[in-house]
């Protein structure tokens, strides 16, 4: 297991790198390690809707060495992740072989709302790095029981943290503080 020396945060499908949760995570952790909030190319070009996750995953795999170099850390020492779609793309990148110290997956979209049969977990068995999942107990994209069940396929150590009453976007200050706290505690386990 590699020590986390940097953190890359990516946004959900309709959001950008300036999403308040990502900004608050960076502000809380920036004195501890370099943090980069990163918009995917479709957002940088002004589009709101993303292309297929596989397309964005290939883009991220190509960008990760550059991002790590900009942060001054080896790619394998970069913890990567983000909110919803962004976290999913990061998990797919690691499953495809991208090096990472671990995955920070916030509000992971296990399936579309009200469509639990459309799982987005086929790649989980190819993930072998430490993973942190932080999700609300009322998130329509994944219940705590669903996350507990499906993350068993991941080969690396999995930490599950749930924010009571929160939905897909941690809309309260207390919920966002809980997200930051869970990430900080998890980074401690990676030697950061």
Give the pLDDT of residue 1.
56
| CATH T-level assignment (fold) for domain 6-122+143-189 | Rossmann fold (3.40.50)
The domain limits of the chain are: 6-122+143-189
Residue 70, number of CB atoms within 10 A of its CB: 12
Cα dihedral 188, 17, 12, 93 in deg (nearest 10): -60
Give the pLDDT of residue 74.
95
Q: Whole-angstrom Cα distance, residue 95 to residue 89?
A: 10
Tell me the whole-structure pTM to 2 decimals.
0.95
**Exposed, middle or buried: residue 76 (CB in 10 Å: 0-12, 13-18, 19+)?**
middle
Contacts of 86 (CB under 8 A, 6+ apart): 9, 10, 11, 12, 13, 40
Q: What is the mean pLDDT of residues 164-178?
A: 81
pLDDT mean across residues, the chain: 93
CA 33 centroid distance within chain: 17
Q: What is the pLDDT of residues 95-151, one digit of tens each?
A: 999 999 999 999 999 999 989 999 999 999 999 999 999 999 999 999 999 999 999
In the block, residue with structure tokens 């964005």: 56
């Amino acid at each position: 297991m590699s020590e986390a020396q940097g953190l890359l945060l990516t946004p959900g499908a309709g959001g950008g790198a300036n999403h308040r949760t990502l900004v608050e995570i960076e502000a809380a952790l920036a004195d501890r390690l370099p943090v980069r909030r990163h918009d995917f190319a479709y957002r940088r070009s002004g589009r709101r809707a993303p292309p297929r996750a596989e397309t964005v995953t290939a883009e991220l795999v190509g960008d990760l060495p550059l991002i790590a170099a900009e942060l001054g850390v080896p790619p394998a020492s970069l913890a990567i992740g983000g909110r919803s779609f962004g976290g999913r793309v990061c998990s797919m990148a690691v499953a495809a072989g991208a090096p990472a110290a671990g995955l920070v997956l916030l509000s992971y979209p296990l399936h579309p709302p009200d469509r639990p049969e459309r799982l987005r977990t086929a790649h989980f068995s190819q993930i072998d790095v430490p993973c942190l999942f932080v999700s609300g107990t009322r998130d329509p994209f994944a219940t705590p029981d669903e996350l507990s069940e499906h993350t068993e396929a991941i080969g690396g150590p999995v930490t599950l943290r749930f924010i009571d009453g929160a939905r897909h976007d941690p809309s309260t200050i207390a919920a966002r503080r809980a997200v930051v706290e869970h990430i900080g505690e998890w980074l401690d386990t990676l030697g950061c």
